Amino acid sequence: VEEIVGEMPLPVSVPMLRLHWLKATKACGMEGVRWHDLRHTYASWLVQAKVPLRTVQELMGHTTMAMTQRYSHLADEHLREAVEMMRQSQAKEARPKNDTSNSDDTNKKAREGGLSY
């Protein structure tokens, strides 16, 4: 809290800031919420919005990437994309070289009874 008070444009005491913080959180039904909780939420939302971790590190003022990587579990979309790329690659390799048909269309026709194997 002392750091925040020191950066404020108008002079305010730490006890006064704490008093108003407590009043504000109580009025919002958010008793027990700390300044750090807001930082954590901000970082989490940045990562969930797919902001690069390096950018999140800079915005949060983290001196090490290790600190920022605590939030990386919130951005696992790249893992899903990698698995999907592998799946598509394997499906292409499994198709015979002279097969130019679309396997999705073929599978759909087979499910609808239009093809027999």
pLDDT in tens, 22-69: 999 999 999 999 988 999 999 999 998 989 999 999 999 999 999 999
- 44 contact partners, CB below 8 Å, separation of at least 6: 71, 74
Taking the CA atoms of 14, 15, 21 and 22 in sequence, report the sign of the dihedral they define: positive
Helical axes 53-60 vs 35-48, angle rounded to 10°: 160
What are the φ/ψ torsions at residue 17 (nearest 5 degrees)? -60, -45
Closest CA to 74 of 99, 51, 107, 98: 51
Q: Is the whole-model pTM more than 0.75? A: no
pLDDT at 9 over 60: yes
**Which has more pLDDT, 107 or 18?**
18
* Percent of residues, the chain, with pLDDT higher than 70: 79
**Which has more pLDDT, 2 or 88?**
88
